[in-house]
Structure formats: structure tokens, C-alpha cells
Structure 1
Amino acid sequence: MKINVKNIGRVAEADVEIDGIAVVAGENGTGKSTVGKALYAAFNSMSDSENKIDCMRRYSVERALRKAYIGGPFGSTPRHRRSAGRISDFIDRVFSGKYTRDELIDEIKDYYGKEISREIESDFTNGVAGVADQIIEIMDISDDEAFRAIATNRFRSEFNGQINSVFDDESGRVELQIKGSSTLFSIAGDEVTEVCDRRTLRFRAHYLDDPFLIDSLAGPYGSAFRSRTLLGHQEELRQDLIRSTIRNDDKESSLFDEIAMERHLNVLMEKVVSLCPGHFEKSGSRDHLIYLEGGFVRGLEPGNLSAGLKTFAIMKVLLKSGALEAGGTIILDEPEIHLHPAWQLAFAEIIVLLQKELGMHVLMSTHSPYFLNAIEVYSKKYGIDGLCSYYLAETCADGRSRLTDITRSTEVAYEKLAAPFDILEREECGLE
């Protein structure tokens, strides 16, 4: 897997290869997160995209049909509610055949029935013909146009609406290459204007950058986050955590998944369990979960876990639920935050094992020399160092960020990341 990013945010250009683990090291404000957000937006735009387009189109047709009679003063009667139950069959017919405008009007009248059709003619603008025109307009939207809308929403959600370069008005691009096939997203005016060679992906990327999302498992679900504005990947991770813990709470339905997972991921899960020995369990009601460990008299609210433990708890939940799939993609933005150096080493080993045991594509950013060194050491220990690549993000004289491949010279990154220690050492010498 490769990604090329050009004129996005503060990044002038970046080429990153993600065969196994790709590490982007650098100081704060050098565009490390930009590459991860671009990868997530591009990848998840293509994830299950054909089905997304079909669902969007069906929903729009359904909304046009419902608005005509449910939205009106007559929409609450039992007769109209029975008619609404047949909506799926009608949409199937619309999708399966090409209708002229007159034929579609006749189909809609047949669907509504004579009495409802008369009410629509008197109460809805342009009557049944107006409904037909809306449906024709929806059906005329091409899959390519719909996909551009999906991609634009994805990128805007990740970049808070500000996708293009902050330095000029030049168009940007994100190119994602997977198994020899390349998809190019052209972006201008903070909008995806063109997509070349779009494709549908089976997997969905996961993006971890906020351990406090585990707080959303407190009940009722999501109550702790209603006042927060979450980026797209954060909201999706929150939903993943909620779904995963609900499924894992159903012991019988998840039994076979857990057996299969434990067979293949013994070493990995042993590491995770040693650091996060507890589990989440339902308390009182279906929408309230607590964290329990051996020796606890009562469970901990998720929000009361230490910030470091939350990082491991998220990984454990995603692994046990099967959300992290073999061959999948995960993006980790400065995962060392809130972790003691000893836990940084432990988490780095877990990331390496994720790649080794599941063959995952991992893109991660870091500003920690401990963490960078740990990835190098553990990748050699587990024999995947040939699948690791390293990049240094730097701010150039013009203020723009660029990424340099330092796979064969990682000492450059250590010099950058360890510079504060040198400064402190000189300060200390000056005090003597």
C-alpha cells in the first residue's frame, strides 16, 4: 500500500509506503497527522462504496415518497402507515427497471392507491408528477457523482472542512495505491472534484488518536460525548467500541469468535491481557458498562480508568470483538501520549505483533524516541523489520511540511527527537 499526499493542509508533499508498519516521526506541527487523516478519508471513502451509494439512493427515493404523504396532514392515519410498509418493494421495482416519466407516475399512483393519490394531488406541490420528478432526478445522479459526495464528506469530516493547502489556492491530491491499483482524489476548494479509477474496498480502516473515547462506554451510551464535536474517525471508533462491547457481553454469540481469535493471536493477546487484565461488563442496564478486574469489589466507570490504561483497553476491545481484521489497516496518531516510557515499549511490541500475527497495514506517527526505537527493536525481534519504513516530517523554510524517507538512516530522527535532551544537558552544565 502506498499513499501520496500533495497540497493538503500544511503538507506540501508526502510519499509513504505501508507494506507493514510505516512510522512518521517528527516534532509537533510538522504535518504527521495530515497523512493519517488523508489515508483514513481516502480508504474509508472506498470501503463498501457500492453499497453506500445504493443505500444513499434508496434512502433519497424513500424520503421523496414518504414526504408526499407522511409529511402532510393526512400522513398519520393507519391506512397511510400500511402503505409505508410496502415502500421497499416499490423501490426495488424502481431500481430494477427504466421508466419513462409517465410510466413512473402510473407506478407511483398504483403504489399509493387512488385515495392517497387524490390527497397528494391536492396537498403536495405538483402532485404525483412532482414526486416522480424528484425520483427521476435522484436516479439520474451517477455513481461517480455520488462517490465524489461521499469522499468530500469524508475528507471534510477529517479536516474540519479545511482540506486544501493553508498556504495557497492550488488544488491538492491524495493518491492511494493498493495491490497495484491506484485511485486518485483531486481536491479543490475543499471539495473532491474528481476521482480517477475509483474502486470498492472490503476492509475499513481504523484510526486511534484519543484514548478518552473509551469513556463513551459509560451509560447511557454516548452521554459523555454529547457536548463534544468529534472528527469522523473519532465518532466511528466510538461506535465501534459500543458495538464491540455489546457483542462481547453476549457470551454465547461471541464464543466461537473468541476461540478462533485466541488460537491465532495467543502471543498478542497475552501481551494485551498482561497490561489490561480486566474486562467490561454490563451493569444494571443494557446501556451501562463498567470495568472489572480481579479483586475489585465494584466496577470502575470507564471514565475513571487511567489515561494510559484506556489506550490498552481500546486495543483489547477491538481485538476481542474481531474489529481488527487480518490484512486490515490501522492508523495510530502519537499513541505514546499518556504512556509511561515502559508502557510505550509494551504498546510498541503490541503494534509489531499486530502486523506479524494479522498482517495489518499500520501507519503511525510519533514524537517519542523511546517509541521509535521500540518499533525498530521489536520489528527485528519478530522478523518483520523488512516490512517497516520510516519517515521524518519537517517544516521547511517556506513553512510547508515535507516527509523524507529515512528508512536507511533513522538516526536522523533520533537527532531531531532527542534535541530537547541536549538542550537540557547544556542548561544543566551551565548551572555547575
Structure 2
Amino acid sequence: MEFSIRGIGIIKEADIKMDGLTVIAGSNNSGKTTVGRALYAVTSAVEDLAEKQQQDQAKAVFYRIRKIVEPFDGWLSRSRFLSRKEEVSDDLISEVIGINHIYNPGKRDYYIDLLFRLCESMEKGSFIELLIDNLRDVVGNSESAIRNEWEDHKEKIQKECLGAREFVESFQQQTKKEFAYKMIEETLAVEFSNQAQSYITVDEGGISKLEFKNSHKEFYEICISENRILEDKSSFTEGYYDRAYFVDDPYIIEDRITPSYLAAPYVDEKHVQIRIMSHRDKMRRMMRVSDVDRGISETIYREQEIQNVMKKIDAIVPGKVSKGVYQSPTGRKLKVENLATGSKVFSIIKKILTSGDLTDKTLLILDEPESHLHPSWINQLAEVIVLLVKECNMTVLLTTHSPNFLLAVDALMRKYEIREKCHFYQTEFEENNQIKYVEKTDCLDNIYADFAASFAEMNALRKKYMNVEE
């Protein structure tokens, strides 16, 4: 597999092989995170694509229904009160009341049917009669007020109904590819704060590209101009990975979940209604939920599959995190805020292993995970990562500027005989401060030399002043 980038962030060009463990090394501000962020954005956008499309359409139709009946919310609230006493007689009124401002993502077809019946009732003028009939015992002298309100809003409501019918017809013609493009576009906007393209590419009016392919198939080629996808120049068949996890901050373990209504909204002419969650919010949500009950057979299978990895992690963090609490095997509970930072790193990986749906198409992106670790724990983290590739067949994209971490991965890939699945890249600056990626898989000497240069500089300085002191 190969992931190619042109003109994203500060990256001029990069062709990254993804066949097991891919390591990107380089200095700060050299675009290492950009690769992971771009790959995560596309992968996350098209995860469970058919399900997302149905949920999106359900939400869109739900809000159309709410918009049509909005002028009568006050009267429907009275009917809602009666419905609790089982006095509402008409099915249509009770169904409109029943959706109760909270949509169910699994009810797309039901919402479409309800919308059509509601529109038919509005167009015939029978809805108002049904509403008055249901409020007969409490409406009193307000019947004329309801009729006047109907006359005031009748034309607008019927236009809403016409628009709603056309809307449903339009999204029923929507293709998977169209929906995928809009999901990718918006997820890139969330991950890159509406600035996925490099300023140089944008200034030159150029096109940026994201491509994923193997020797037999191109999965997608996304062309971007002014941070919008050019659908006529792009292609999309499917995403390759089933699930992606992007870990770049151990402190997400202690953050509260961002409510879905605060996540980035997305509504445009392609009707994408889903709230896009950033990679950090998705990780926050995972860290706060309880472990899934998978049943005995599934649990046994999963434990056998990851047992060697879990032994390594348990040696450092024997407990588990759930709902913001770390619980040790002895039952002692500790708020995750009080967990050591290094332990947070291992706890996040452990949570992914126990809660995630891991397959050979799972992508794990770790952005400088060694930053908070002692060298001995860096070595153990490297072993965990190598075992994830060897025994779980996961794909791992790793960025680092630690010579200790690079050396540990270099040694352990040889110990566990996965060298043929490993690829190494170094970032290099070009003109205009743009970055290109150079593969160093066959010889890591240049990467080690780059890391060693800073150490040698300070070591020489130290010796100089030690001589002065003597």
C-alpha cells in the first residue's frame, strides 16, 4: 500500500509505504504530523460509510419534519401532555409528537414515510383539523387562534412540504461517492482547521492531492483546490482501512467528552448533516465508555490474539481505564487525572486493544508517543508496537524525533523478524520551507546522524566548559 501527498500542510510531496510499520523521523515543524492527520481524516471520513449516509439522511428528514410543524410547537406541546394520558386519538399527531425533538439514526425510512404523510395532510389542510380535534377538550376559545395561525403560515408550510419532497428525492439519488467526497472534505476541514492546503499551493492556485493505492488498485485520489474537493478530477472506490485511531496527546484520557451538539456541524447542498468529531474527541469518547461485552467466545479469541502484547502492557499498567477512572487489579481506583503521564500513554493503547474492533485493516497512528517516557519505557513501547504489527497484523504509522525510540524499533523489528514490513522516512526541507519525504529503509545512518548532531554539539560545549572549570 502507498499513501501519497502533494501540497498538504507544509508537505510538497510524500509517497509513504504502508505495509505494517511506517516510521517518519525528522525535526520539529517538519510536517511529520501532517501525514498522519491527512491519512486519518480520509480514513475516518469513510469508515462505515453506508451507515453514516443512512444516519445523515435520517437526521436531515427529521429536521425537515420539525421545520414543517414548528409554527404549531406550542399546540403540539399541549397535545404531548395529553398523549401521556393516552388521550391523543390520531396516529399522525401522536407520531409527530412522538419524535420529541430527538432523532433516531436508525429510523430513516420511517421518517421519510412520516414526512410524506405529514406533507399530504398539510397540503390538504387536514392536519389543522386533526390538531384541533385532539385538543378539543382543552382548546376552548383558542380554536380560532389556531385557525388564524394556520392561515398565517399556510403558504410557507406548503412550500416547506414541497421542498421537503424534492429534498428526499434528491438524496435518494445521491451516490456513495458524492457522500464520501463531502465527508472527506469536511473531516479534512476539522482536522486542519479549514487549512489543509499549503499556503504555497493555494497562492499558486494549484491543486493538492491525496492518493491511496496498491499495485493492483487505486482506492482513492482526492484533488483539492481552495480547500474544496474537485469532484470532477477526483476518484473514489472505497476506503482501505476499516478503522483508524490517531493518538497525539496522552492528556485526552482526562478530558471530558465534547457533546455531539458541540462537534463541528456540516450542512450544505449535499445534505451532510452529521456532526464531524475530531480525532481527539473520538479518542475522548472511547476513553470514557465502558468496555464492550463481547461474549465469552469472542473474548477468548481476542485475548489469544493480543495476549503477548497485553502482557507487555500489563507489566507497566496492569489496570484498566473506564469512565475516567483507572482501576488496578486489586480494585484500587484512581482518577485518570492523577495517573502518571507515561502510564496514560500505555492506558490509551490498552483501551484501543480492548475496546476497538481490531482487524488486519486497523490503522493506528501514533504521533511522537515517546515524548513523556523514560528510555526504559520507550524500549517497552517500541516492543508493544512491533508486536501489534507482527501478531495483530495492524498497520502502524509512527512519528518520532527520538534516537532512543528509533533505535529500539530498529532493533526489535529484527528480533521479531518483521523487517520486510517496516519502512522508514526522513523529512527534508526544500525551498520555500516546504517538505519532502525521503525513504531511508535500506540505511538509517542519515537519520541517526541527524539525531546525533545535536547531542554532539552539546557534548562538545559541555567538555569546553568542563575544561574551563578545571
Cα distance, 1:146 vs structure 2 = 3.0
Which of 172-181 and 270-279 deviates more? 172-181
Matched, 1:181 2:211: no
Equivalent-residue separation in structure 1 for 2:464 and 2:354 (angstroms):
53
Evaluate the alpha carbon distance shift between residue 83 and residue 352 of structure 1 in structure 2; reply closer, same or farther with a 3 A threshold: same
**Deviation string, structure 1 residues 401-432 (Cα, Å, up to 9, x no partner):** 11001111211111112211011122123222
Listed one character per residue, the Cα deviations across residues 57-107 of structure 1 (whole Å, up to 9, x for unaligned) are 2221221012211563333223534335489899527979xxxxxxx9777
- In the other structure, the counterpart of 2:288 is 242
Aligned to 2:133: none
Match of 2:243 among 204, 226, 247: 204
Indicate the residue corresponding to 1:172 in structure 2. Answer: 208
Task: Find the counterpart in structure 1 of residue 161 from structure 2.
Answer: 131
Partner of 1:20: 20
TM-score (norm: length of structure 2) = 0.78
1:222 aligns with 2:257: yes
State whether structure 2 residue 194 is matched by structure 1 residue 158: no
| Letter paired with 2:96 | S
8 Å Cα contact 1:391/1:407 also seen in 2? yes
Backbone CA RMSD of aligned residues: 3.2
CA positional deviation for 1:351 = 0.5
Deviation at 1:208, TM superposition (A): 0.7
Contact 1:109 1:128 in 2 (8 A): no
What corresponds to 1:410 in structure 2? 444
User: Partner letter of residue 403 of structure 2?
Assistant: P
Aligned-partner Cα distance in 1 for 2:305–2:198: 44
Q: Which AA in structure 2 matches 1:309?
A: S
Matched, 1:389 2:400: no
- C-alpha contact (below 8 Å) 1:49/1:201 kept by paired residues: no
Secondary structure at the aligned position of 1:275 is classed as coil
CA shift in 2, pair 1:124/1:263, >3 Å: farther
Deviates more, 1:47-56 or 1:26-35: 47-56
The 5 Å alignment of 1:282-431 reads 289-293=324-328, 298-431=332-465
* Equivalent position of 2:272 in the other structure: none
Give the whole-Å Cα distance in 2 for the aligned partners of 1:391 and 1:231.
Answer: 29
Q: Which deviates further from its counterpart, 25-34 or 409-418?
A: 409-418
SS at match of 2:199: coil
Aligned ranges for residues 240-279 of structure 1 at < 5 Å? 240-243=286-289, 246-248=290-292, 255-279=296-320
> 1:304-351 CA deviation, whole Å, 9 max, x = no partner?
101110000111112122443343111111111101111111001100
Counterpart-to-counterpart distance in 1, 2:459 and 2:295:
54
- Mark the structure with the bigger radius of gyration: 2
Map of 1:82 onto structure 2: 95
TM-score by length of 1: 0.85
Aligned residues: 409
User: Structure 2 vs 1, CA of residues 345 and 106 (structure 1 numbering), >3 Å: closer, same or farther?
Assistant: closer
- The CA distance in 2 between the partners of 1:132 and 1:351, in whole Å, is 56
Larger mean Cα displacement after TM superposition, 134-143 or 401-410: 134-143
Q: Is 1:146 matched up with 2:192?
A: no
Q: How far 1:114 moved relative to its partner?
A: 5.6
> How many angstroms apart in 2 are the aligned matches of 1:212 and 1:227?
20
| Higher mean C-alpha deviation, range 132-141 or range 227-236 | 227-236
Identity of matched residues, %: 26
Identify unmatched segments of 5+ residues in structure 2: 81-87, 130-146, 265-275
Asked if structure 2 preserves the Cα contact closer than 8 Å seen for 1:83 and 1:112, the reply is: no
